[in-house]
Structure 1
Amino acid sequence: MQHRLRLLPALLGVLLSATAHAADPQYFPLSRGVTPAAIALLDDGRLWYVSAGTGSLGRLDPQSGQDEQVSLGKGSLPRAVIAGADGSAWVADSGLNAIVRVDPERLGTEVIRLPDNAPDAGLDSIVQDDDDEIWFTGENGYFGRLDPDSRQLQVWQAPGGKGPHGLAVTPDGQVWYASSDDNSINHIDTLSGSVTRYPLPVANSGPLQLGADSIGRLWISQSGNGQLSRFDPSDGSWQHWPLPGAQAQPCAIFVDSMDRVWLSDIAGNAILRFDPQSARFTSYPSDRADARVRQLTGRPGAVWGAESGTDRLLVIRE
């Protein structure tokens, strides 16, 4: 494990200028080639981010510009990260085929490798449920669970084969994942690991990421047909809204505390906010081409994303 500390002059310039309007994106430049893939927010205002380009984990203080880097090991390809209750980082690392924990104090790494029956899972997404169990998906046809205390790890083959991507936990603790290849969203029985499949009503929708609102409805970004959809598990009903733009390619999704839906449009090079009450989209385009935001997260009043194509993090504050 190696780590280093630096201050980002470009970031400090952004902070000092303070010229952006409240709802305009603010950008936090990182080192060239970092290729940030995902963000996890910490209670003290700092954030973790994973660097697919360098196989490392970063911890950024947006106020001071302090940026610490932790190498995750040779062959690392981190894809997703969450923050534990103690401030630790839990990383889904596709290259290492492992879940990696990074200690928040000494920045030491612990590599928890997947078992031999999942030799190349293609780790993609990670969440933590209400019982603090960590769930993850592998796009090569797997999903699994890790007990963060005992480090006991279980992996199951996804019944639909390849395609598991985004995960969501509903307010009542239900765990779901989207599967793009078999065009479904899937409910995991957290006791047995069994899966109930819910096919999307339109073929080749390409469900990619999931978000849950305050009453447990699932919001789905559909990269295959450029739509945002909502599924209500209570009655099995679906609703659909096409994104603006003929070639829209929705990817990342986040449902905020007001039940508004934020999603990225890769082809449109923008973050979109969808208001379910008015059924209207508001666009926040990037000021650089090919931003490629593949993950969003947030807290009340702020939505964060990682521009993998521009080596920047961004926040939209309201």
Structure 2
Amino acid sequence: MTTASASRSALVSLATAMATVLGVVVAVGGGAASAGAWELPPRDYASWHEYSPATAGGSPGPVVVAPGDIVWYADTLENEIVKVPAAAPAAVEHFRLGAFAPGISDLAAASDGTIWFGDFLNAAIGRLDPATGDVTEHPLGGAFDRATSLTPGPDGALWFGDPSNGGIGRIALDGTISRVPDPGGTGVYDIAAADDGRLWYTRDGAGSLGAYDPATGDLDIVPVGVSGFTGLTAAASGGVWVAGIDTLVKVETDGTVSKRISIPSAPFGSVVPRHLVSADDVDLAFTDADRGLGRVDLWGNVSFSKPPYAGTKPEHLGVTSYGSLWYSDRGRDTLGNV
């Protein structure tokens, strides 16, 4: 046995022993497995941090962590987007959105340093240039069109779910919008750029994912057996994670399901994983309205923890390159990290 294999074996044995004590089902290796939902034991809450909104009376909403570990959040109440360096949270910068007064559903950081957002109130996609403070909006074309789950693609453009038109959309950095219809015309709400160069998306009501290659135009349909999707993200370990009620599924880029985790809902009620993120030190993290922050480790164990503040309700989530989770707390109108 190699030194690396011996170390992994020791880690697995330790994790299994700990799980036996805690009553957790451990998933080892790449096969499908179940994991129990459990509350973390008391911890050192010195690792939790909370920040008031940059503008008094505001309410942090959608969050994205840009390259360089810069945290951005949207504050629709104050009509602004705020920049928060993760290493120096007090050094905030405000960017007012002017007359647009958008309803911001999500944020994305483009390769050129601009920040983009879905604007459901104006049926548009907005763009903020932090270098100048300029804000521009690009209409989607229909009065009820929405751009959801904006994400940078491998081609440098921004891609988005296009539920009103049954497919996915693309907006180039110059604002040009194009669309790719789903073969079944299904509503698409979640999209992620995986490490295989394809855009993966949820096919609402179809129990499957679409995987679109912008370089070739090829589109594959991948069944995953999830009846109602609640989230999707590219996995730092490769492939994608997709969520449904009480369910998390890891899908590799060849279409195989490597993990299928059922989260026991009793006695808490159903678990609804949303705002999925992944990083090298966090295989998967998500938020649940009742349980706070959820995590899945490399063995497929699910755990939950909540910030130690009264009335806390973590919602939108982002993760730094070193695994620090940043979240907007709609119960307290604050920004937090752990």
Matching residue's letter, 1:108: D
What is the Cα deviation at residue 125 of structure 1?
A: 0.9
The answer to whether the 8 A contact 1:170-1:213 is kept is yes
RMSD: 2.8
| Match of residue 110, structure 1, among 107, 123, 136 | 136
Which gives a bigger RCO, structure 1 or 2 (Cα 8 Å, sep 6+)?
A: 2
| Match of residue 110, structure 2, among 84, 105, 130 | 84
Q: Distance in 2 between matches of 1:48 and 1:201?
A: 34
The answer to whether the 8 A contact 2:273-2:288 is kept is yes
Spell out, residue by residue over 1:163-206, the C-alpha distance to the aligned partner (whole angstroms, 9 max, x if none). Answer: 4222211123211112334333211231465643323324x3x2
- Note closer, same or farther for the CA distance 1:234–1:215 as it changes in structure 2 (3 Å cut): farther
Q: Distance in 2 between matches of 1:50 and 1:160?
A: 33
Matches within 5 A, 1:23-42: 24-30=47-53, 31=55, 34-42=58-66
The answer to whether the 8 A contact 2:188-2:203 is kept is yes
Matches within 5 A, 1:209-228: 209-222=231-244, 225-228=245-248
| Match of residue 211, structure 2, among 184, 187, 201 | 187
Correspondence 1:146 to 2:171: yes
| Match of residue 320, structure 2, among 293, 298, 311 | 298
Q: Secondary structure at the match of 1:164?
A: coil
Q: Distance in 1 between matches of 2:70 and 2:316?
A: 20
Tell me the equivalent position of 1:127.
Answer: 151
Long gaps (5+) in structure 2: 1-42
Correspondence 1:232 to 2:252: yes
- Note closer, same or farther for the CA distance 1:194–1:45 as it changes in structure 2 (3 Å cut): closer
Equivalent pairs, count: 288
Matches within 5 A, 1:48-87: 48-61=72-85, 62-71=88-97, 73-87=99-113
| Match of residue 208, structure 1, among 224, 227, 230 | 230
What is the Cα deviation at residue 105 of structure 1?
A: 1.8
Task: State TM-score, norm by structure 2.
Answer: 0.74
Q: Secondary structure at the match of 1:165?
A: coil
Spell out, residue by residue over 1:255-281, the C-alpha distance to the aligned partner (whole angstroms, 9 max, x if none). Answer: 11146111111232x11111132x222
Q: Distance in 1 between matches of 2:319 and 2:311?
A: 22
What is the Cα deviation at residue 156 of structure 1?
A: 3.6
Q: Secondary structure at the match of 1:36?
A: coil
- Note closer, same or farther for the CA distance 1:156–1:106 as it changes in structure 2 (3 Å cut): same
Tell me the equivalent position of 1:165.
Answer: 189
Matching residue's letter, 1:308: R
Q: Distance in 1 between matches of 2:46 and 2:288?
A: 18
Long gaps (5+) in structure 1: 1-19
**Greater strand fraction, Structure 1 or Structure 2:** 1
What is the Cα deviation at residue 237 of structure 1?
A: 3.0
What is the Cα deviation at residue 49 of structure 1?
A: 1.1
What is the Cα deviation at residue 136 of structure 1?
A: 1.0
Q: Distance in 1 between matches of 2:61 and 2:221?
A: 28
| Match of residue 241, structure 1, among 261, 267, 270 | 261
**Greater helix fraction, Structure 1 or Structure 2:** 2
Matching residue's letter, 1:211: T
Q: Secondary structure at the match of 1:106?
A: coil
- Note closer, same or farther for the CA distance 1:23–1:87 as it changes in structure 2 (3 Å cut): farther
Matching residue's letter, 1:305: Y
Structure 1 range deviating more: 129-138 or 191-200: 191-200
Structure 1 range deviating more: 126-135 or 229-238: 229-238
What is the Cα deviation at residue 298 of structure 1?
A: 2.6
The answer to whether the 8 A contact 2:282-2:295 is kept is no
Identity %: 19
- Note closer, same or farther for the CA distance 1:188–1:82 as it changes in structure 2 (3 Å cut): same
Tell me the equivalent position of 1:260.
Answer: 283
Q: Distance in 2 between matches of 1:91 and 1:104?
A: 13
Correspondence 1:283 to 2:307: no
Task: State TM-score, norm by structure 1.
Answer: 0.79
- Note closer, same or farther for the CA distance 1:135–1:201 as it changes in structure 2 (3 Å cut): same
| Match of residue 94, structure 1, among 114, 120, 133 | 120
Correspondence 1:175 to 2:199: yes
